[in-house]
Structure 1
């Protein structure tokens, strides 16, 4: 039994677009979410956790790029796991990727709403978050080239703003603040902080979702990934360390808008620069929000095209060649998540869980494909193989265990849904279907 695809995306993306998508997907992680990690580890404990997670992402991205360039498929990890492990492997990796991106979107939407509320207290968080959902679904429907140009502009503005933030708060940094209760929970706190450190880089793997829309993917994808990762590492440590020395870090460990709050503490809330920063602070959140909507829609599209989700979700808009039903479906999920958890902390954890689970599946796929298909063309080979993918796999597994240990109920939801999906998959007989698509065979 076979299934074939009849839809095709347009190749329009260049290295600058890939850099913008890679950085744009992640850059909101510097604006919010990570600061929850201070609450479980302290500043130094979280710094150690971030170093560990940075090592994970460096080794992961250099290994993941091998898969992305060898198998440039919109399904990303779904395609790699399917090729390595068959239908069940594809299902599990695809599910984890969907959780990763579909729940990153409402978390960022909640932060957008919070930033607006900081500027204009009369504007409630959830309605504005819902408005952003509708607006950016429309932008993404309008065409990939248009979306990519928007990504470049908004990402450059977001990076510039974080550099401005570091310049403004740097003179107010006090080491005494940063080292106040640096590791209140010891090494256990470092372990607990790993999922929040993931938020600094979560979603960079989304570049793989646009692989079918990249010109010369085997040459350009590595450039996009590596340049994006270098940019993010610099921003991550600059923002995290400087913010931790502004005041007693406890004041910022449980808010959705730590950066404008930091400037307000340093300069005063009435200072004009505080308002300006909060206003342009929307750029970083918008960049990631736009990027996660883009990436999640391509994952939905790819899995629907392969029959792993309802087929209508793979339909493309005739004029713009964009997966409009996939975009709408992602928007609905985002709105439902916002309704049930507008604080975003549990959504952040659920998204991080999907991410590290997907990282594990991807590294396992890489090892299997090295054995199973030694002659597969690999335009970019993972350096220091097998060390890099092994390190990425081990740290991802430790991070997954940390999430399960400290967030058991969220983890229960993740695995309960996966179980239901797997049962439906078997009942429908999808595990017996051999897909015929470029990249999957």
Structure 2
């Protein structure tokens, strides 16, 4: 019997998932981009990436509503390009969603370590995995309702941050040494703009994960477009506001390359002992928790969909008594916890753990974005009669912009992160070898009528 997920989620739940998946990117990670591009260079990078994501979401929504499937990009690419296309998109998405949580878990550990210096951040990160895996196992509606609550609190907290630091904003602070440590634009500044791409993507990474809750959405053809479009608008406004106001609060160079730039920026304005600062440190955890919890939901649905289709061991598609993919949830957690303790390998790449996990997740995301846009073009050509309740506006220009910027990002990332690109490629090759050795497993998998075009 085919394992099926139960539709229980409304538009507001899906908005909470879409924004919650991403919102930790407003709290940390992006400031690493200042270290390589400067504030002005990174502002240019962010504008480019915001353009890509806006075009991507307006286009991706057509796929999500036409094929509401737990596999998300895996499902669209498999329908457009067959089993190998499904493998490429599915594994890239899985890498994105499995490697993003360790970076967020380490940030949670760093926040807690500020309040409890005796607490090892790594053990705190593992504890976060255990708590939020358990919550996801207990039921998707409970998990999504919790996600919505912490997401709303996280958005409110970012607005409070902007309101508190705004009086201390100075444009002279923001533009000082704004081009990769220089006051002037140059060739090295342009290089920094491209080197900072992974950290600008971190502002928006994983918003597409709401597609993986599509099977659990009520009336997905109506609710998903509303959730996605309001979600990307929410995130673009927050990203620009947080970055500009933090950069103008004081010496921005003190904020680049740390896991808690917002509390440190607020400290420049209100001082060390302000009640606002203590509130930000504690409530700031909600932003990290929202993304961490949401991405666990996302990776578990990707494991589930790939296993159900025979691309991964079929046992990962089993559902618990709560009708949640508990084995898939645990599998991603085991990999994430192993990554947290992989400092030796990461140090060989000359990067810190957080920056390396972010970059690896972004590699998966960019490959998936490319496959998704190619799938959109191919399905428009091959299946003109596919039922589409939503059409990408400005087709073919808008999806072409998303595709072109995605390809540019991939080239730049390979150039500036070659060793991590090799590791990513090796993971994809290993997945392909497993894929070739397990053809019988896919033959025995239940036929997925939605994927195979028999609507």
CA deviation profile, 1:132-161 (whole Å, cap 9, x unmatched) = 000000000110111111111111100000
Report SS of the residue matched to 1:117: helix
Report SS of the residue matched to 1:10: coil
TM-score norm. by structure 2 comes to 0.94
Report SS of the residue matched to 2:388: coil
Residue 404 (structure 1) aligns with:
414
Unaligned 5+ runs, structure 1:
none
1:428 Cα deviation (Å)?
Answer: 2.6
1:407 Cα deviation (Å)?
Answer: 0.7
Instruction: Indicate yes or no: 2:40 matched with 1:36.
Output: no
TM-score norm. by structure 1 comes to 0.97
Which of these residues, 380, 388, 392, is aligned with residue 402 of structure 2? 392
Distance of 2:315 and 2:353 partners within structure 1: 33
Residue 334 (structure 1) aligns with:
336
Report SS of the residue matched to 2:366: helix
Instruction: Indicate yes or no: 2:153 matched with 1:157.
Output: yes
Unaligned 5+ runs, structure 2:
181-187, 344-351
Distance of 2:311 and 2:272 partners within structure 1: 50
Distance of 1:420 and 1:407 partners within structure 2: 20
Change in 2 beyond 3 A, CA 1:243/1:430: farther
Which of these residues, 106, 118, 122, is aligned with residue 102 of structure 2? 106
What is the count of residue pairs matched by the alignment? 436
Report SS of the residue matched to 1:74: coil
Distance of 2:85 and 2:211 partners within structure 1: 18
Distance of 2:75 and 2:420 partners within structure 1: 27
1:435 Cα deviation (Å)?
Answer: 6.6
Residue 118 (structure 1) aligns with:
114
Distance of 2:67 and 2:157 partners within structure 1: 35
Instruction: Indicate yes or no: 2:57 matched with 1:61.
Output: yes
Q: RMSD value over aligned CA atoms?
A: 1.3
- The 8 Å contact of residues 13 and 214 in structure 1, kept in 2 or not, is answered as yes
Residue 347 (structure 2) aligns with:
none
Distance of 1:272 and 1:222 partners within structure 2: 39
CA deviation profile, 1:184-236 (whole Å, cap 9, x unmatched) = 33211111111210000000000100000000000110001011111111100
Instruction: Indicate yes or no: 2:314 matched with 1:311.
Output: yes
Instruction: Indicate yes or no: 2:436 matched with 1:426.
Output: yes
Residue 278 (structure 2) aligns with:
275
CA deviation profile, 1:412-440 (whole Å, cap 9, x unmatched) = 10001111211221133369849720321
Residue 349 (structure 2) aligns with:
none
Residue 16 (structure 1) aligns with:
12
- The 8 Å contact of residues 300 and 309 in structure 1, kept in 2 or not, is answered as yes
Distance of 1:283 and 1:231 partners within structure 2: 17
1:265 Cα deviation (Å)?
Answer: 2.3
Residue 437 (structure 1) aligns with:
448
